[in-house]
Amino acid sequence: MKYIDEFRDGGLARALAKTIAAEVVPGRSYRLMEFCGGHTHAISRYGLQDLLPAEVRLIHGPGCPVCVLPIGRIDSAIDLAVGRGVILCTYADTMRVPASAGMSLFKAKAGGADVRMVYSCDDALALAIEHPDREVVFFAIGFETTTPPTAAVIRRAAALGLKNFSVFCNHVLTPAAMVHIMESEAAPEAVAIDGFIGPAHVSTVIGYGAYEGFAECYDRPVVIAGFEPLDVMQSILMLVRQINEGRAEVENQFTRAVSRAGNLKAQQLVAEVFELRSSFDWRGLGEVEFSALKIRPGFAVFDAETRYGIAYRKVPDHKACECAAILRGHKRPADCKVFGTVCTPDHPIGACMVSSEGACAAHYTYGRFRVEQN
Amino acid sequence: MSYSRPLDMKNGRVDLTHGSGGRAMAQLIHDVFLRHFDNPWLAAQNDGACLPFPAGGRLVMATDSHVVSPLFFPGGDIGCLSVHGTLNDVAMNGARPLYLAASFILEEGFPLADLARIVESMARAAKAAGVPIVTGDTKVVEEGKGDGVFITTTGVGVVADGIDVSGDRARPGDCILLSGHLGDHGVAIMSLREGLSFETTIESDSAALHTLVAAMTDAVPTLRCLRDPTRGGLAAVLNEFASQSGVGMLIRERDIPVREPVLAACELLGLDPLYVANEGKLVAICPPEDAARLLAAMRAHPLGQDAAIIGEVVEDDHGFVQMETAFGGRRMVDWINGEQLPRIC
Amino acid sequence: MCLAIPARVVELLDGEMARIELGGVKKAISIALVDDVAVGDYLIVHVGYAIGKLDPAEAAETLALLGAMGRDADPANPQAYL
């Protein structure tokens, strides 16, 4: 497959690994946080950590929108399906996330609720057109990559004058999450992260310019990395070089799909349909300011929250859950007392185990047989 | 026996009388099942079939229920799938299948034309395999209580003395072989799923594997394990073997054949080909000294032309299945809890 | 976040849609978020929408750079990584 296979070449990987190993200063620590479920997946699926020297440690940040979705929001989605009898359309990723009272969307479906897995929000719109007598709600999740399609579908619903379609909006923002990680300590210097691997497709939409303020303010290098394993490795090399040279710049490795400004058309559409929430409760991170979007009043008829009067009830995480520390890179999955025992992919307790992109789930599935380095 | 009116095979539908045991049911059985499955045991129309059985060897029996949706898909349908599936289950014990039974649960309102199409497909598959469907059953449930049709097939066969194929026989050092390309069936089904639909030339690989198995056991009687990677894919089979045998496995991604459109469909949907269903492939484990001979026997057979040695059995108390990625690192091939779902992130 | 694939446009369709092709698989997707799409373009596709275009010249440059790194890392074996 063109533009995919070339960036998975094992020979080039070995060469890059050698270069990284040669440029890493022995004994120096390079703690690199990635913010993208796709990167977490690539690192695990291709066994990238095996190809890196011990000095380079990859940390999984809160880049998985399913993991950071609070339990209370899933409860609301389940309530729409079970209590209000809507056709609830969702991406498959959310189906197995455990909510309150041992429920999940999967179990709600098993109990007779009309929950349907869709590949695209367009499929939800099509269902609304096909069933004018039924209420259809699309459960929207995701970072900035997934938000423009939701905006497009709301605009289309408005143009069609649909009366039975709405969106339960849980879109969140990447830079806000990154800032929150840096603000988690008294001073940025105390944060145990040396560099950031910037998300691939989020950046296609928002542009790499969106990170320049962050890099300068917190004095950390950011390299926007493409989606394939060679992209990630090349980006790691670029970060190692920046760290060695004491630079804190935004560099773009994913030049074939990311520009400085990003996709302006998509950004404009998002601004037309959505506005910032003053605060949003992130699972594992707590309340984060200006980190999420809600539907503008002009499109209120398509906003499931106003249409159904959804009230958010916060559900705290398990006391033993270490997700907050893991998401900040302070602790590793193996450091959590309940990892692999009470908390497994089959019975996830916290955010990091919930989706296969979460740090704990990825480690459990792919990495737990390894002996941990440093 | 003559009936007052012929069945309307073009526009007619199944109704509750067809399952009631009366003349309507007899007519359905005669006009549809007996007509297509056509063999002396079934024609005798007794409750069971009285069958000759070879002397020597051990009896193998297997049963499988088929609930696939959609009923008709590129490369097959629920009918041939139900025949192939049970023939394969019998064959995976190293056995030669001899007879099949088929029972149908039909939903009220199910079109007779579709039923005829399915039954004809089953008859073709059984005939091609040389294994007759000798007895069966028909029930009808009320509308809404079935998914059109559910089919359960049971097969019996005989495994020769000296052949001992079982999931707990894998030993460290043994070789792992795969008979061909992964993922064709799963992708063919998914391309028709509501909300996904993509265009692909990929067809289901549904096939009867018993003659391939016969060629394999003839060439390598020391064959240790055989299984077909249906639901859960290659990953499920290897994890099952590892668990049953108390060993680990190490496979190599670069040696596993997957067609490009299957890889592409999996990329599009965020699926891993290792977990996608197959209906005409098998996984075999044999002692290392016999691997070359086994591979040659597989490749000489039409259903094994693309066979490959994909890895080895290793010592491992944890029973992990690991894979060397084409990229050069290692990853686990985990035993997942439920069905693999598409993902967006 | 987030699974997106580069796919080639094989046909433009009505209603701001296009048919894309990847490795022999075809699908109709929305191009409402991207301007000036032509047959032969490569698009980045996520949840049934094109979210951007892939620049073939940049892709070639990235691969060339990776190839050069390969040669630098193992000068004894210059062809190994091409």
Q: What domains lie within chain B, and their CATH numbers?
A: 16-159 (3.30.1330.10), 175-332 (3.90.650.10)
**Exposed (0-12), middle (13-18) or buried (19+): which is B203, by Cβ within 10 Å?**
middle
Residue A265 lies in a domain: no
A18 neighbourhood in chain C, CB within 8 Å? 73-74
Task: Give the residue among A350, A38, A321, A44 at the shortest CA–CA distance from A202.
Answer: A38
CA atoms within 13 A on the CB side of A46: 26
Nearest CA-CA distance, residue B247 and chain A, Å: 14
For residue A230, give the nearest of C43, C69, B270 by alpha carbon: C69
Size of the B and C interface in Cβ pairs below 8 Å: 40
ipTM over 0.85: yes
A218 falls within a domain: yes
Provide the pLDDT for residue A272: 98
The pLDDT of residue A203 is: 97
Give yes or no for a contact between A263 and C34, defined as CB atoms under 8 angstroms apart. yes
A228 neighbors A16 (Cβ within 8 angstroms): no
Distance in angstroms (rounded) separating the CA atoms of residues B94 and B91: 5
Using alpha carbons only, what angle is made at residue A11 by residues A9 and A15, rounded to the nearest 5 degrees? 115
Q: Is residue A128 part of a domain?
A: no
Residue A338 and residue A220 share a domain: no
CB pairs under 8 A between A and B: 93
Residue B56 contacts A, CB cutoff 8 Å: no
Residue A140: in which H helix or E strand, if any? strand A136-142
B187-193 CB contacts, 8 Å cutoff, 24+ apart:
B187/B261, B187/B262, B187/B265, B187/B266, B187/B276, B188/B73, B188/B74, B188/B75, B188/B76, B189/B68, B189/B70, B189/B73, B189/B277, B190/B265, B190/B269, B191/B74, B191/B265, B192/B70, B192/B73
Q: pTM for this structure?
A: 0.90
Sheet order of strands, B225-227 included: B225-227, B283-286, B175-178, B308-314, B248-252, B321-324, B330-332
C-alpha closest to that of A327 among A350, A349, A348, A344: A350
For A345, the closest of B320, B326, B337 (CB atoms) is B337
Q: Does C27 touch chain B (CB under 8 A)?
A: yes
Residue A201 lies in a domain: yes
CATH of the domain at A232: 3.40.50.11750
The 10s digit of each residue's pLDDT in B57-71 is 999 999 999 988 889
What are the pLDDT digits (tens) for B66-104? 988 889 999 999 999 999 999 999 999 999 999 999 999
Domain membership flag for residue A352 = yes
Report the SS3 class of residue A355: coil
With bands split at pLDDT 50, 70 and 90, how would you rate the model's confidence at B1? Answer: low
* DSSP code of residue C61: H
Q: Are the Cβ atoms of C24 and B264 closer than 8 angstroms?
A: yes
Q: Is residue A199 part of a domain?
A: yes
Residue A298 makes CB contacts below 8 A (sequence gap 6+) with none
Neighbours of chain C (3+ CB pairs under 8 A): A, B
A92 at B interface, C-beta within 8 A: yes
Chain C residues near residue A266 by CB distance under 8 angstroms = 33-34, 51-52
Domain span holding position A342: 323-365
Is B322 at the interface with chain A, CB within 8 A? yes
Backbone φ and ψ for B89, nearest 5 degrees, come out as -60, -40
pLDDT band, residue C78 (cuts 50/70/90): very low
The amino acid at A41: H
Quick one: pLDDT at residue B301? 98
Question: Per-domain residue ranges for chain C?
Answer: 5-73
CATH class of residue range C5-73: mainly beta
State the pairing for strand pair A30-34/A195-198: parallel
| Cis peptide bond N-terminal to B74, omega within 30 | no
pLDDT of residue A93: 86
Neighbours of chain A (3+ CB pairs under 8 A): B, C
Tell me the per-residue pLDDT of B155-203, one tens digit each, with 9 for 90 and over. Answer: 999 999 999 999 999 999 999 999 999 999 999 988 887 656 678 788 9
Q: Is position A23 within any domain?
A: yes
pLDDT digits (tens, 9 = 90+) for B207-251: 999 999 999 999 999 999 999 999 999 999 999 999 999 999 999
Closest CA to C3 of B210, B345, B262, B216: B345
| Final residue of a structural domain among A203, A225, A252 | A252
Nearest by CB: B345 against A44, A51, A93: A93
CB A141 within 8 A of CB A170: yes
Residues 6+ apart with CB under 8 A from B296: B219
Question: What is the reported pLDDT for B194?
Answer: 60
Last residue of a domain, one of A195, A229, A252: A252
Examine residue A185 and state whether it is found in any structural domain, yes or no: yes
Identity of the residue in B329, B336, B344 whose CB atom sits nearest the CB atom of A48: B329
pLDDT in tens, B315-332: 998 899 999 998 888 888
Instruction: Indicate if the pLDDT at residue C82 is higher than 60.
Output: no
Shortest distance between the Cα of A186 and any Cα of chain B, in A, equals 32
**Rounded CA gap, A97 and A104, in Å?**
6
Low pLDDT (below 50) residues in chain A: 371-374
- How many angstroms away from the CA of B199 is the closest CA of chain C? 5
Number of domains, chain A = 2
Domain boundary among A252, A268, A283: A252
